[in-house]
Structure 1
Amino acid sequence: MGAGGYVSSIPVRPAHLGHALASEWTKIRSVRSTIWTLGVMLLLIVGIGLLATLAAGSEREMDPLLAVGFVGVLLGSLCVITLGVLSISSEYGTGMIRTTLTACPSRVRVLTAKAVVFFGLALVITTIATTLVALLDFGMLNGPAPTTDQWLRATVGAGLYVALLGLLALGVGTLLRHSAGAISAMMGLVLLPMLLALFLQGESVKELQRALIEYSVPSALATLYDIPFLPSGPSGWTPLWILAGVTAVVLGGAYAAIAQRDV
């Protein structure tokens, strides 16, 4: 040791977002919940899509041709929602979040890394699955050839919508910090509007019933496949932009909460 004290031979580099991304990627690919949830999601999207295609058969004409994949994507989205919540809430449940924030004190960086890694993984896996189902539909069913816009909405659009749902779930998980509570809240968001609409009868609540159906998650996904539940609701890519806005607001609240609260 010299007069200036000990100097380590190991280079010291300032931490940045890339380190947080590498850490979150290691976490998400090494836990069982990722394998199980994404595996079940693939099984639902591709399996139900294939079964629906076989059931529809090639004897009768389908229009729109790619709409058969809708049910599998809707059910598969529930798995992505679960993984989105667990990506953050499981660390609060086990206390791992303390280690994470000790290694990376910047809470904004931690949440950003989680959001980027999760969204990228969910988008890639879901888009691959929806594209495979769309190709099966196109090859096995009879009907008018889909337009470029229909192809994009049934593949990339559906993948983006499901990934955004998962990102919204991550934001809700950050706010609630409780796995069961956040998953229940997200399942309610997905399923409750349609269930409420079924029980709302009478002219006085007709507008409310219509709004619940038009802006529900199942109807939004169906719109991407050109089979909206009601013709008066959002059309084309509009449901995707609506969900993107809602997700941005919830994530903004999540950033504010994680920056101010104790772990």
Structure 2
Amino acid sequence: MLALIGMSATSPTRAQSADLVLCDRVAADPGDPDKPADVRGVAEIAPADVATAIKFCRVAAGGSRRALYQLGRAYAANRQGTEAVSAYRKAADKGSTSAMVELGVLLATGAGGTTDEAQARKLFERAAEAGNPRGVTNLAALSKGGVLADPVKARTLLAKTAETNAEAQYQLGIMMADGVGGPKDDVAARGLFEKAAAQGHAGAMERMGAFAQSGRGGPQDTSAAKAFYEKAAALGNEDAKAALKRAECPMAIRDKRGNLVTNLCW
């Protein structure tokens, strides 16, 4: 980091590059279509990295819509709701589909201080039409009376994006596994999870672990299941961590009512 800061003091161009590198390192979203393939991203910005993210993303945001979106993530992690909405809105205006999704979520839920479902729907539609998988699924999930708005359309839109996008593969796999928006197809779902897992998608790795463990949609393979769980857990996936814990402590002790008392480990 000291080397990067040293470079930033001598060249405005390289300073911007260094700021963006540091912004990406602590605040990039793994599912952001704008994220370069060589940037890993973090599901959540670590509390210890929030100040660093705000500092460097704020500077990098002047020349990068990705950094502007990541600045919004940093503000949100720091509970600066007004600033997060402002950053997301500016990034969305510049074409960031991830910012459209996040801003839409805030407007749909009222978490940003204002509830505007109509505007949220428009943002999700823009993101979905641009191929953002989360835009597609959020558009489908924007509900009235607890009923999915249009899961069939969501599945169709995801299928168009799933050729190359790991998040789309994962989301489409979930819909196929659950039979949402079309027929249930465990084999196809497993194939999609496998493709997304190969691209480093933690959620898909966890699903591959579950499918391999139970033999769902393909052969049962406990060794492969454990490997998938371990990879997903290393990326912070809580479901995978829980699955590994259950494997270590498989014997459940329950009371007369069937409530879990403890697990025996070996």
Superposition TM-score, scaled by structure 2 size: 0.24
Superposition TM-score, scaled by structure 1 size: 0.24
Higher RCO (Cα < 8 Å, 6 or more apart):
1
Which structure features the higher share of helix residues? 1
